[in-house]
């Protein structure tokens, strides 16, 4: 895997994993050089042949190299430029040439900055073939082809010498090979190899050093993303959690998150932020692949230590004057001066730089640890070449214990993503499903559960059901359900069905239940797979839910749109060729709707919520005709219209509904509060349009039930064109 895609895969790993489940390696090639590949439709559950461009994988790889918002990050770009300028000037002041090496040049932006600052020679390397080709084109279009030499190689493959890639070693290195964990893109080995093989002694490195910060916190809200808690109703345990789940270390992958958007009132800091690891990137101190550090620290508050917040910062120059920080708002270096001016944290959050390529991270402690204010504890950090992990010991220690990187041993953290675990812990949501079940369950109830990891379905037994069948086609999810069945002594009343071909006949069941949730679903409406499964039975069989409503709202995202926004002129350099490449590749490989946890991305409502389509889940979907609908949605407040947010409301019965969208009434012109335990659908407009109350959005929807195809179309109009 190319290092620079690692952070994207982390942020969208559940999407990527689902996609891997859909597509198979088997394919056949037509004479016109398109490809037929097998794909599984997440709505119908059927496998069919799908025609794709023979270069589909190539286009998808290019689309992924947009680096999200990285090149839109003005502070990042500006501070790299300032540090480069200082480095080149220092070499010239010392009577030396300024020979720059740019590792992982991408679009060539940092190399062009070096050229603009007067570097004597610039060698840029880029391993990703499509990007290397376009970097050459961009460099030429900006008039730097005579100053920048681009090598299509990894830096570890560069040669130095008369006939080598570089005639001599460089004396300035500039590179950006960092991810949310700082070291996850192979930064340690990249810097180490550069110092050993590609740089002169006393070279200047941009950035000069890096520091990883850790803050120990208490938060039951944070814990909700990591382990499944018992399901309760009216202070009664309906479903207990096994010791295996409680004691599991959790997922190995880092939990990257926009901590600035996490409510400050939802956690308690137990330690002030601590600099746990410092990396000297200048080459004067060795960079170790494996390291452990222990800090003896006194807590600032008493409580239960649940997790650690992590972020990092970069000192860009040798004089320690240029700092680039990824801290959340409450610890950001720019926050205190702004607070002194009377600004609130919410106001400051709108002013500090926003990044999606570098976020903050949560590390869950292997053991919840009680701490007492002013009683010294040991905070221990570990890292290997790519990852970090932590533990906390409630006493001072003299010898740092070894600790293996945490991995999941209970299946739960492998089977389900963190948003799903949080969903299973959502007490308000669970209570609604339980109330709906209580209305239907009797001693004669035989229930069929049609959802993956349907713990709520298991509660039907505790509510008095005679028996339940649980459909679990996914092996990992099935193992999790078996564990919960055993822990709660439900084996005699629960039968697990492994295949849709083995579903019980209609005369054996009298209630169909679903949340609905399926591991293979990427966007929320793909959970309508429940409808297809339920349609194997007649409408006479009662079901929960009975209906679904697909909803939308027109929004102005404060920042999220940057992950797809074109660059145009970036820091004075023309990157429009890059925009064209990314857009053309995205058009051929990406879905127009993607899933995002919108609670992390502030958005202002430009319209009121509108109904796109209602679905009666008591009908047979296979007998349903095609649905084509359209409407004009009025804009109620002015703003920069850059997206549409989509979600599904599930009607459990005539009185109870569960929403996967806003958690409070949506008001035009106000920020929307989103359910934190689902990923909503997002349509981002290619062109951002300033709209007013005279504007409308044209919305159209197409659903072909027989093949399971759903399509949306949104366009911006003015009222006089309505």
**pLDDT tens across 515-554, in order?**
999 999 999 999 999 999 999 999 999 999 999 999 999 9
DSSP per residue over 345-391, as a string? HHHHHTTSPP-SSS-EEEEEEEEEEEE-TTS-EEEEEEE-SS-EEEE
How much is the pLDDT for 23? Answer: 33
Per-residue pLDDT tens digits for 75-95? 999 999 999 999 999 999 999
pLDDT above 60 (res 30): no
Following DSSP, what letter does each residue of 135-155 receive, concatenated? HHHHHHHTT-TTTEEEE-S-G
Asked whether the bond before 545 is cis by omega within 30 degrees of 0, the reply is yes
> Mean pLDDT throughout 361-384?
95
Phi, psi of 721 (to 5 degrees): -105, 5
Query: For 259-314, how does the pLDDT look when each residue is reduced to its tens digit (9 = 90+)?
Result: 999 999 999 999 999 999 999 999 999 999 999 999 999 999 999 999 999 999 99
Residue keyed to tokens 């932006």: 109
Across 104-111, average pLDDT:
95
CA atoms within 13 A on the CB side of 591: 15
- The per-residue pLDDT for 9 is 40
From the number of C-beta atoms within 10 Å of its C-beta (0-12, 13-18, 19+), residue 263 rates as exposed
Residue-wise pLDDT tens digits, 499-515: 999 999 999 999 999 99
What length is written for the chain? 722
Among candidate residues 564, 556, 553, the one with its CA nearest the CA of residue 587: 564
Residue 18 has pLDDT above 50, yes or no: no
Strand partners, 305: 369
CA–CA distance, 527 with 681 (Å, rounded to integer): 13
Judge contact between 446 and 467, C-beta under 8 A: yes
DSSP H or E segment with residue 616: strand 610-616
pLDDT on residue 52: 58
Structural tokens at position 39:
């794909």
711, 710, 520, 707: which is closest to 46 by C-alpha?
A: 707
**Following CA atoms 385, 386, 387, 393 in sequence, which dihedral angle do they give, to the nearest 10 degrees?**
10
Counting residues of the chain whose pLDDT is more than 70, the rounded percentage is 91
- CB–CB of 680/647 below 8 Å? yes
- Give residue for tokens 């389900």: 416
Q: Can you tell me whether residue 102 is helix, strand or coil?
A: strand
CA distance 534 to 618: 8
Nearest to 15 by CA among 594, 472, 678: 594
Percent of the chain with pLDDT over 90: 82
- C-alpha 348/C-alpha 330 separation (Å) is 9
* pLDDT at 11 > cutoff 60: no
Cis peptide before 550 (omega within 30 of 0): no
641 versus 581: which is more confidently predicted? Answer: 641
Report, as residue numbers or ranges, the catalytic residues.
Answer: 176, 185
Q: Is the pLDDT confidence value at 416 over 60?
A: yes
**Within a 10 A sphere around the Cβ of 515, how many other Cβ atoms?**
27
Count of alpha carbons within 13 angstroms of residue 465, beta-carbon side: 32
Helices (H), 243-320: 243-246
Angstrom distance (rounded) from CA 159 to CA 553: 55
Q: Is 492 helix (H, G, I), strand (E, B) or coil?
A: coil
Residue with the larger pLDDT of the pair 169 and 56: 169
Distances (CA, A) of 636 to 553, 630, 642, 688: 11, 19, 15, 17
pLDDT at 664: 97
């Amino acid at each position: 895997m190319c290092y620079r895609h690692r952070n994207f895969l982390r942020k969208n790993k559940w999407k990527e994993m689902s996609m891997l489940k859909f597509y198979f390696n088997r394919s056949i090639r037509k004479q016109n050089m398109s490809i037929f590949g097998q794909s599984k439709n997440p709505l119908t559950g059927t496998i069919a042949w799908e025609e794709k461009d023979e270069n589909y994988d190539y286009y998808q790889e290019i689309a992924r190299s947009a680096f999200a918002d990285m090149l839109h990050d003005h502070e990042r770009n500006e501070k790299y430029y300032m540090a480069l300028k200082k480095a080149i000037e220092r070499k010239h002041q010392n009577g030396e040439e300024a020979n720059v090496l740019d590792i992982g040049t991408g679009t060539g932006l940092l190399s062009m900055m070096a050229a603009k600052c007067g570097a004597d020679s610039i060698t840029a390397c880029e391993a990703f073939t499509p990007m290397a080709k376009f970097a050459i084109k961009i460099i030429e279009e900006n008039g730097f082809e005579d100053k920048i030499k681009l090598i299509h190689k990894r830096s570890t493959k560069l040669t130095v010498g008369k006939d080598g890639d570089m005639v001599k070693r460089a004396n300035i290195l500039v590179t950006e090979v960092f991810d949310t964990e700082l070291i996850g893109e192979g930064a340690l080995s990249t810097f180490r190899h550069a110092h050993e093989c590609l740089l002169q002694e006393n070279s200047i490195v941009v950035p000069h050093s890096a520091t990883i910060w850790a803050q120990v916190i208490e938060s039951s809200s944070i814990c909700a993303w990591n382990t499944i808690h018992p399901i309760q109703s009216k202070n009664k345990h309906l479903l207990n959690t096994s010791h295996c789940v409680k004691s599991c270390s959790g997922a190995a992958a880092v939990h990257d998150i926009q901590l600035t958007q996490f409510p400050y009132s939802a956690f308690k800091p137990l330690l002030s932020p601590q600099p746990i690891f410092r990396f000297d990137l200048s080459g004067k101190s060795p960079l170790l692949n494996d390291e452990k550090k222990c800090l003896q620290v006194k807590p600032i508050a008493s409580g239960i230590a649940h997790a650690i917040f992590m972020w990092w910062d970069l000192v860009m120059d040798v004089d320690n004057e240029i700092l680039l920080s990824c801290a959340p708002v409450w610890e950001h270096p720019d926050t205190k001066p702004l607070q002194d001016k009377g600004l609130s944290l919410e106001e400051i959050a709108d002013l500090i730089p926003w990044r999606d390529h570098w976020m903050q991270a949560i590390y869950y402690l292997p053991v919840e640890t009680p701490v007492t204010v002013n009683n010294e504890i040991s905070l221990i950090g570990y890292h290997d070449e790519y990852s970090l992990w932590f533990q906390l010991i409630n006493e001072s220690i003299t010898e740092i214990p070894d600790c293996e990187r945490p991995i999941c041993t209970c299946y739960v953290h492998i089977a389900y993503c963190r948003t799903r675990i949080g969903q299973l812990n959502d007490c308000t949501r669970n209570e609604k499903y339980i109330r709906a079940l209580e209305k239907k369950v009797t001693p004669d109830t035989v229930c069929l559960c049609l959802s993956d990891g349907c713990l709520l379905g298991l509660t039907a037994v505790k509510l008095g059901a005679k028996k339940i069948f649980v459909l679990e086609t996914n092996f990992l999810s099935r193992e999790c359900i078996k564990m919960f069945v055993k822990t709660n002594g439900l084996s005699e009343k629960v039968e697990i069905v492994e295949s849709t071909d083995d579903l019980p006949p209609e005369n054996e069941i009298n209630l169909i239940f679903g949340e609905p949730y399926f591991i293979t679903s990427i966007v929320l409406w793909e959970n309508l797979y429940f409808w297809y499964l339920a349609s194997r039975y007649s409408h006479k069989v009662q079901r929960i839910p009975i209906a679904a409503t697909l909803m939308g709202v027109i929004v102005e995202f404060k920042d999220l749109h940057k992950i797809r926004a074109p660059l145009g002129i970036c820091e004075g350099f023309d990157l429009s060729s890059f925009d064209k490449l990314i857009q053309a590749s995205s058009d051929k490989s990406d879905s127009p709707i993607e899933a995002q946890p919108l609670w992390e991305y502030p958005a202002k409502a430009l319209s009121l919520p509108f109904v796109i389509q209602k679905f009666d889940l008591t009908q047979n979907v296979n007998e349903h005709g095609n649905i084509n609908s359209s409407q004009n949605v009025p804009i109620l407040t002015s703003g920069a219209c850059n997206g549409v947010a989509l979600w599904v409301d599930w009607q459990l019965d005539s009185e109870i509904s569960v929403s996967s969208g806003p958690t409070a009434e949506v008001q035009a012109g106000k920020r929307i509060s989103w359910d934190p335990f689902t990923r909503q659908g997002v349509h981002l407009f290619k062109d951002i349009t300033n709209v007013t109350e005279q504007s409308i959005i044209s919305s159209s929807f197409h659903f072909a039930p027989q093949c399971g195809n759903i399509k949306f179309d949104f366009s911006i109009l003015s009222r006089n064109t309505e």
